[in-house]
Amino acid sequence: MDPVRREGPAITIRRFLKQIKTFSSQKGIFGLNERWVHLLKVLINARLNIIVSGGTGVGKTTFMNLMLQEVDKHDRVITIEDVREMNFNLPNIIRLETASIAGKVITMRDLVKNALRMRPDRIIVGEVRGAEVFDLLQAMNTGHEGCLASMHANNPGDCLSRLESLYLLSGYNVPIEALRQQIGSAIDFIIQLQRNRSGQRVVSHITELTDYCGGKVLSQSLGTIPAGLDYIVSSGLVPKCIERLKEHGLEEDLFMNPF
């Protein structure tokens, strides 16, 4: 409103589907074939820590809803958001939102810190954009597996850089080597979303963080979108955590033939 907008009031409406989608009911969603969908389901079942990265309007919230539909029904899930946007069907869920109570602002970081005392099986952060990244990484590094969060970034490399920036801006004077080592051990996968040449929302990268060495977080892309295509294609690389994935239903020969 005026004086921020001098031409008159402006309203922005974010619309979300009432019908809850699943990978099974939406064949080919985000450009994924059945083998990619199977891999994503195994990543969830194996309780790996995942960051969903992408720009504005590429479907990060929708994709997180799809992933969360695959969570075990017995898991105690705590979601943390600025505004409630995630919509998925689980019986044991606690939803937390930022608020202002009697002049005191309850921030995302306050909610993440409080969630650690609520015996969560999984902590879900709608979007990481501030000091809460410190407590989230601490949680991931201290036995809280299966965490899921989204972040604004153009590619997996930018996602790692933004994690570092947010961590340092939270006010902690941590050597960059120690910070990168913490990120490398806390996060297992980055799933990058973007719009393809046709304007469709697709998964463009599935990147595994493999190790920390020589001052850098090492990674490998299990899938990317090659030039001239509009959908993700397997790189033929085998995940470092393949044994863990096999324990949760991944077929041994899934990566033998690129797909």
Q: Which domains does the chain have, with CATH numbers?
A: 34-73+124-129+146-247 (3.40.50.300)
- From 205, 241, 253, select the one nearest 58 (Cα to Cα): 205
Sign of the C-alpha dihedral computed for residues 212, 213, 217 and 221 taken in this order: negative
Model confidence over 51-81: pLDDT tens digits? 999 998 899 999 999 999 999 999 999 999 9
Q: Which of 116, 121, 132 is nearest to 166 (CA)?
A: 132
Q: How confident is the model at residue 17 (pLDDT cuts 50, 70, 90)?
A: low
Q: How far apart are CA 95 and CA 11, in angstroms?
A: 26
Q: What percent of the chain has pLDDT over 90?
A: 68
Three-class secondary structure of residue 127 per DSSP:
coil
pLDDT top residue among 15 and 40: 40
Number of helical (H) and strand (E) elements in the chain, helices listed first: 7, 11
Q: Which of 13-22, 190-199, 231-240 has the lowest mean pLDDT?
A: 13-22
Q: Are the C-beta atoms of residues 54 and 152 closer than 8 Å to each other?
A: yes
- Give which of 24, 105, 98 is closest to 66, Cα–Cα: 24
> Alpha helix (H) ranges present in 141-241?
156-169, 176-186
pLDDT of amino acid 259: 67
* Both tokens assigned to 239: 């995940």
